Amino acid sequence: MKIPVFTVDAFTNLPFKGNPAAVCPLLCELQDELYQKIAAEMNLSETAFITRLNPADDFSSENINSTLVFETMSGELHVRQKGDSIVMDFPLNKPVPQVADDFKEVIKAAVGDHPVQEVCLCPTTKKLMVRLDDTCDRSVLTSLQPNAAALLASESSGRVKGVIVTMLGAPQCQPGYDFYSRNFSPWNGIPEDPVTGSSHTVLASYWSEKLGKKIMLAYQCSSRGGELQLEVRDDGRLDITGQAVTILEGTLFL
């Protein structure tokens, strides 16, 4: 059996930036064990396997502006191409303000002694959002080095499955980022995710309200870095737009 495989860097237009993922288009379903073995061989945080639910579907360049619907483990994902970018349709997840002392151990493990302006928890995603004080500059966020074991030890009750650290951006400076963030999810086996679409369903809801804006530009300040364009729609959903670059194309021989 031959399976084509691609490595794609998402939320960037530069190789070796953004969120790297393996993508395997399939002509038929595989056994669950084989999916796991291929993902382990790719050794990336995500490996996507794509099959056509309807063999008559046409994914040719003539239909490039059509909306494609992917049935994922998290539900349906609607995707369309817009110029050189990909637009994904996500739910908007509103975080709820919390008393910081209720999460003081996990906050300490995530940001140390840096001042915190607000703490929110998203009950849907179980992501704890920690907003650094506006007196902090971007170097504070980029210099954070939370230990995965310390984070796990600080919160084992199941209330938290990920920590988002965010701060106000610099929209007056080019390219005009409205806010910055980093995402830590050792509870899911990911010490730090390079760029995280799901965390921005929480961040977009929060910052849209704080900034009074429905269209925002965000930057995730991981070592790889990634840029996301966000639009909070009138129907209460969120469009996340980003670019992607294919850096590897090959074949798996099984």
Quote the pLDDT of residue 52. Answer: 78
User: pTM of the prediction?
Assistant: 0.91
Q: What is the per-residue DSSP string for 185-233?
A: EGGGTEEEESS-HHHHHHHHHHHHHHHT-SEEEEEE-SSS-EEEEEEE-
Quote the pLDDT of residue 68. Answer: 80
Classify burial at 217, counting beta carbons within 10 Å of its beta carbon; exposed 0-12, middle 13-18, buried 19 or more: middle
pLDDT above 90: residue 71: no
Going along the chain from its start, the domains and CATH numbers come out as 2-81+243-253 (3.10.310.10), 96-241 (3.10.310.10)
Active site residues: 46
In one letter, which amino acid is 146?
P
Quote the pLDDT of residue 24. Answer: 95
Range from 17-26, 56-65, 147-156 carrying the lowest mean pLDDT: 56-65
**What pLDDT digit, counting tens, does each position of 93-142 carry?**
999 999 999 999 999 999 999 999 999 999 999 999 999 999 999 999 99
* HSE-up (13 A, CA, CB side) for residue 95: 30
**What pLDDT digit, counting tens, does each position of 159-203 carry?**
999 999 999 999 888 899 999 999 999 999 899 999 999 999 999
Structure token pair of residue 101: 């002392």
pLDDT above 90: residue 61: no
